[in-house]
Amino acid sequence: MTKSLNFIFFFIFIVLLFNCGGPSQEQKQVIDAQAQLEKDLEMYRYVWGEFFKGDTSIVNEKYFTEDVTVVTPEGDLVGIEAVKNHYLNFFIGFSDVEFTIVDAFGQGDKIVKYFNFKGTHTGDFFGLPASGNKLNLSGTTLVKIENGRVSREQDFFDYASLMSQLQQNSGEVNIDSQSQGVL
């Protein structure tokens, strides 16, 4: 009896499979686009996870386009070395760095990352001298992906919160023009 039921279910499955005709070309494109987005998200999480573990060499041509751009209020930073040097400020300026991608999602060639950064301000950070204060900052990054590599990033966060957390005990903060605005 069990063999008969298995055969019947198998036969029904085969009939349904052939009668459905499989996914349309449009459905295949949607499936392929979703699969690519999942690969891009996995790559993106991996790269920034490794970078903030200390492997700064991961900012390279395998994961970033040659003309990768970080948008800042002072102007765009273009090229792999410029991007790497920009984000190295987080290691220069902070000890006990903790970076977490809280969430990341996307559509097509765009990713939105919600992040949290924690550390102790023990060094120069974009011209802001060490305060010894703890920083706990959350923000969002808009990302563009081209051919499976990062081509553009722009970070957004509460600048007033950053500054209030890093103020010197006197309440003064001395910063140069390169450290103002969106990082």
Provide block-wise average pLDDT over 10 residues at a time, the chain (183 residues): 59 58 72 86 95 94 98 95 95 95 94 97 94 97 97 96 81 43 46
Instruction: Give this prediction's pTM.
Output: 0.75
> Is 52 among the domain residues?
yes
- Specify the CATH number for the domain of residue 141: 3.10.450.50
Count of domains forming the chain: 1
> Is 38 among the domain residues?
yes
pLDDT of residue 139: 97
Angle at 169 between CA 166 and CA 170, to 5 degrees: 115
Domain, as residue range, for 42:
24-178
pLDDT of residue 123: 96
pLDDT of residue 35: 87
> Is 76 among the domain residues?
yes
**Side-chain half-sphere exposure of 117, counting CA atoms within 13 A:** 26
Strands 149-157 and 64-70: parallel
pLDDT of residue 130: 95
Distances (CA, A) of 1 to 4, 8, 9, 12: 5, 11, 12, 17
pLDDT of residue 177: 38
pLDDT of residue 27: 76
> Is 14 among the domain residues?
no
16 vs 145: CA distance, rounded Å = 39
35 vs 33: CA distance, rounded Å = 5
Residues 25-39 have pLDDT tens digits of 777 777 777 888 999
> Is 65 among the domain residues?
yes
> Is 117 among the domain residues?
yes
> Is 13 among the domain residues?
no
Q: Name residue 13's amino acid.
A: F
pLDDT of residue 174: 44
> Taking a C-beta distance cutoff of 8 angstroms, is the pair 74, 84 a contact?
no
pLDDT of residue 22: 63
> Is 136 among the domain residues?
yes
**Element at 77 (helix H, strand E):** strand 77-78
Collapsing DSSP to helix, strand or coil, 170 comes out as: coil
pLDDT of residue 29: 75
pLDDT of residue 24: 75
Q: Token digits for 114?
A: 């919600």
